[in-house]
């Protein structure tokens, strides 16, 4: 350690001077130490895409299928984002799937049977989510019932609520409009490019401002190479995706043209930015991590642990409602199975596959997106390869098991290397 | 050293139901000094600390802080006065870094956004004032720190807020030899910086290494509060185990000192 270059930061504390090389060294060190983050999911995604791509290069790699993936994954990702808040506290919400269904049904009924406009129906669906979350959170934190039991009961009850709302198995179609286009239509090409460029510019600006702010205070800054690498990476990802999605993907362009980024993509991106900001840059987010890491320490630090616990269930069910809206929008209708079958397990799977720990305290919003992409790719690719849905479920189950196994092994490894 | 105590307790009584845990306890903490609080298990050390920090209300007695009488009803009020307690089990979050832990519950914000540069700067300056000069990064997760480093972060967290009295509950209990020396040095430095330090410890070597005064609790009574230089190792052990040593300590026990806790006996 004597040869490591050091520099002085605030108040003259000596710290290791970060370089591009040390950054990579630290990263690999963390991985060896059991802090895997989203790495397994990203690798898995690359491998899966390679497999499906080589087996069905014509269909899997088409622009149409790429756009389709966003619509397929949107519901799962939204629910998974809410679940990450719940998982960060080491809790679980098994009712998120049917909560999504109930909120979707409330929206559909208001739209069709009561003739409310789209905005009111959407707001009602989201408000229903908040109320559900409040109820779950109060039962868990104030009454003290384990979240597994509370939400298992809610899972059963909401299934019944959904059936009753729909009058024993009716299927309600929603009218055309804003809600239906959310997870079905695409943005105009010009808007698609504008949004992509704005996103890249915004990301670069934030990175630059943070670097400058720290440098001005004489704090340790990241090497400029890492920042450039990060910005170039994001730019490449967003711009290449936009280029693919703005290609014509209608089967017969003469009848109806179909191009542009699916509206679902900026919806996912918007919530990703919002919740990443909340978790990473606000006091509230800091307190969520603190309660998940060590509830006793958080309590002694004066953090209202109960209120934090309630709030994560509120956010969880709110995002379930958003997910329900996306599911209903994609299907164009609500039926008793909306949010049922594998919806919840896919969402939990997405969060865990993405790298969020089931044991609390560890997870990021991006995990929902990466994990959701993995699940959508498996579902989509295996469908294109003509596997039966039985085989698809089995395969998804195995992937989830692997992800949870990686999480558990990484924790053991982290404990062994003193990282936990 | 300083003539007037920073924190002065007089005649503190505390009962839990029929069991009186503290009897007429007195304790003075002087600025720039380390006051060791010693006593056997169950002597009332933890209860006394919890009374000072506002976790338990006191039944009788007065608390004088910085020359004026105060009533402390919650840990928050204690913190506002400038009294910080570093508990034995540290109360750090493993999944947060050094800066995040030091500011936990009292984050600096600009608008709604966390003001990370300011927090990092203050954390760095506080660590530097405690002569902690080498960490890999202020953004290192607490999980990856050694026991001594963790204790250092916990203590730094307590002095970050211009606190005047810092109470350390067995800070060296779980540490090795080198790390114990490191933490004791830090304890001494806190006092040299002008703080009043209360050190709770079972280890006589630690107590004699850093303390200016030694306060001994025996069965809920303050047996003696003496200068460390005036007593020997074995005298303190006698005070801890028997409540008196020669002409120091409590008078011989009289049967009237015992409280009858037989149910219904007071009827």
Q: Which residues contact B199 (CB under 8 A, 6 or more apart)?
A: B34, B35, B36, B37, B168, B171, B187, B206, B207, B210, B211
Residue A251: both structure tokens together: 């089967």
pLDDT 10s digits, A385-418: 888 888 888 888 888 888 778 778 877 777 766 5
Mean pLDDT of all residues in A320-349: 90
Asked whether the beta carbons of residue A213 and residue B117 sit closer than 8 angstroms, the reply is yes
ipTM: 0.82
pLDDT over 50 (residue A93): yes
pLDDT band at A2 (very low <50, low <70, confident <90, very high): very low
- CA B33, CA B230: separation in Å to the nearest integer? 15
Each residue's pLDDT tens digit, A38-49:
788 888 889 888
C-beta of residue B35 within 8 angstroms of C-beta of residue B215 = yes
Closest CA to B147 of B104, B186, B180: B180
Instruction: Tell which of B94, B131, B142 to mutate to test the A interface (max A CBs under 10 Å).
Output: B94
**A-interface mutation test, from B93, B114, B135, B140, most A Cβ less than 10 A away:** B93
Convert the pLDDT of each residue in B168-178 to its tens digit.
988 888 777 87
Give domain B7-92+163-257's CATH superfamily.
P-loop containing nucleotide triphosphate hydrolases (3.40.50.300)
* B122 interface with A at CB cutoff 8 Å: yes
Residue of A nearest to B123 (CA): A10
Would you call A286 and B114 a contact, using CB atoms and an 8 Å cutoff?
A: yes
In angstroms, the separation between the Cα of residue B88 and the nearest Cα of chain A is 12
Given CB atoms, is B137 within the 8 Å cutoff of chain A?
yes
Query: CB distance from B110 to chain A under 8 Å?
Result: no
Q: CA-to-CA distance for B226 and B98, rounded, in angstroms?
A: 37
Estimate to the nearest angstrom the gap between the alpha carbon of B10 and the chain centroid. Answer: 17
**Beta-carbon separation of B91 and A290 below 8 A:** no
> Which of B49, B92, B96 is the best mutation test for A, with the most CBs of A within 10 A?
B96
Which residues in chain B show pLDDT less than 50? 1-2, 265-267
SS3 B26: strand
Q: Assess contact for A67 and A290: CB atoms under 8 A.
A: no
* Facing B104 at nearest CB: one of A217, A290, A414: A290
Interstrand relation of A172-173 and B113-114 (parallel, antiparallel or unpaired):
unpaired
Q: A339: burial class by Cβ within 10 Å (0-12, 13-18, 19+)? A: buried
Asked if the Cβ–Cβ distance from A419 to B143 is below 8 Å, we say yes
Q: Does A134 touch chain B (CB under 8 A)?
A: no
Helix (H) or strand (E) holding B14: strand B7-16
Q: Given this model, what pLDDT does residue B260 score?
A: 55
Mind listing the pLDDT tens digit for each residue in A40-87? 888 888 988 898 888 887 788 888 888 889 999 999 999 999 999 999
- DSSP result, A58-112: HHHTSHHHHHHHHHHHHHHHHHHHHHHHHHHTT---TTHHHHHHHHHHHHHHHHH
A301 to chain B, closest Cα gap in Å: 5
Q: Which helix (H) or strand (E) holds A268?
A: helix A264-281
8 Å CB contact between B9 and B63:
yes
pLDDT, mean of residues A91-102: 94
How far is the C-alpha of A32 from the C-alpha of A11, rounded, in Å? 32
Answer whether A366's CB lies under 8 Å from A230's CB: no
A223/A270 Cα distance (integer angstroms): 28
Instruction: Name the most confidently modeled range: A43-47, A149-153, A222-226.
Output: A149-153
CB A388 within 8 A of CB A120: no
**Nearest 10 degrees: Cα torsion A15, A17, A22, A25:** 0
């Amino acid at each position: 350690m004597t040869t490591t270059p050091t520099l002085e930061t605030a108040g003259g504390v000596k710290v290791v001077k970060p370089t591009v090389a040390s950054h990579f060294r630290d990263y690999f060190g963390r991985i060896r130490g059991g802090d895997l983050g989203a790495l397994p999911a990203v690798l898995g995604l690359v491998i899966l895409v390679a497999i499906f791509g080589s087996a069905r290069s014509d269909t899997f790699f088409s622009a149409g299928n790429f756009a389709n993936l966003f619509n397929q994954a949107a519901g799962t990702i939204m629910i998974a984002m809410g679940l990450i808040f719940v998982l960060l506290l080491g809790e679980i919400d098994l009712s998120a799937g049917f909560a999504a269904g109930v909120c979707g049904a409330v929206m559909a009924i208001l739209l069709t049977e009561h003739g409310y406009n789209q905005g009111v129906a959407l707001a009602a669906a989201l408000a229903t989510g908040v109320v559900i979350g409040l109820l779950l959170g109060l039962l868990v934190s104030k009454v003290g019932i384990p979240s597994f039991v509370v939400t298992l009961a809610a899972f059963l009850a909401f299934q019944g609520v959904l059936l009753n709302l729909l009058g024993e198995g009716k299927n309600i179609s929603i009218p055309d409009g804003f809600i239906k286009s959310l997870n079905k239509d695409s943005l105009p090409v010009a808007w698609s490019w504008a949004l992509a460029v704005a996103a890249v510019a915004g990301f670069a600006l934030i990175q630059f401002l943070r670097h400058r702010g720290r440098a001005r205070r004489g704090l340790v800054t990241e090497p400029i190479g890492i920042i450039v690498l990060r910005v170039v990476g994001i730019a490449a990802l967003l711009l290449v995706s936009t280029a693919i999605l703005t290609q014509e993907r209608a089967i017969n362009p003469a009848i109806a043209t179909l191009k542009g980024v699916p509206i679902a993509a900026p919806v996912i991106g918007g919530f990703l930015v919002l919740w990443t900001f909340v978790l990473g840059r606000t006091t509230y987010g800091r307190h969520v991590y603190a309660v998940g890491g060590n509830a006793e320490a958080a309590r002694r630090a004066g953090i209202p642990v109960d209120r934090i616990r309630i709030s994560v269930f509120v956010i969880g069910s709110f995002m379930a409602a958003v997910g329900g809206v996306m599911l209903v929008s994609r299907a164009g209708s609500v039926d008793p199975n909306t949010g049922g079958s594998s919806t919840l397990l896919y969402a939990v799977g997405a969060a865990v596959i993405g790298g969020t720990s089931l044991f609390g305290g560890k997870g990021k919003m991006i995990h929902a997106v990466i994990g959701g992409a993995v699940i959508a790719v498996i579902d989509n690719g295996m469908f294109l390869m003509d596997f039966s849905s039985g085989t698809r479920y089995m395969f998804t189950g195995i992937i989830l098991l692997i992800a949870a196994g990686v999480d558990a092994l990484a924790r053991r490894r982290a404990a062994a290397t003193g990282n936990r | 050293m300083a003539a007037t105590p920073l924190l002065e307790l007089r005649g503190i009584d505390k009962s839990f139901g029929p069991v009186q845990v503290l009897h007429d306890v007195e304790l003075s903490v002087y600025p720039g000094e380390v006051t060791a609080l010693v006593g056997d298990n169950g002597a009332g050390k933890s209860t006394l600390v919890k009374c000072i920090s506002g976790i338990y209300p006191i039944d009788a007695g007065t608390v004088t802080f910085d020359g004026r009488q105060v009533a402390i009803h919650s840990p928050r009020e204690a913190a506002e006065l400038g009294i910080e307690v570093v508990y034995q089990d540290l109360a750090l979050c493993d999944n947060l870094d050094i800066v995040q832990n030091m500011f936990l519950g009292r984050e600096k914000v600009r608008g709604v956004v966390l003001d990370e540069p300011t927090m990092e700067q203050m954390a760095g300056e506080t660590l530097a004032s405690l002569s902690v000069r080498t960490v890999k990064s202020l953004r290192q997760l607490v999980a990856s720190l050694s026991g001594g480093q963790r204790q250092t972060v916990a203590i730094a967290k307590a002095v970050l807020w211009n606190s005047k009295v810092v109470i350390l509950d067995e800070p060296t209990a779980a540490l090795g030899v080198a790390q114990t020396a490191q933490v004791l040095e830090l304890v001494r430095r806190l006092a040299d910086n002008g703080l009043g330090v209360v050190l709770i410890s079972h280890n006589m070597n630690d107590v004699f290494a850093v303390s200016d005064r030694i306060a001994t609790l025996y069965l809920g009574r303050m047996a003696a509060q003496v200068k460390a230089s005036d007593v020997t190792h074995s005298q303190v052990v006698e005070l801890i185990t028997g409540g008196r040593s020669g002409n120091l300590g409590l008078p011989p026990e009289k049967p009237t000192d015992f409280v009858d806790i037989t149910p219904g006996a007071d009827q």
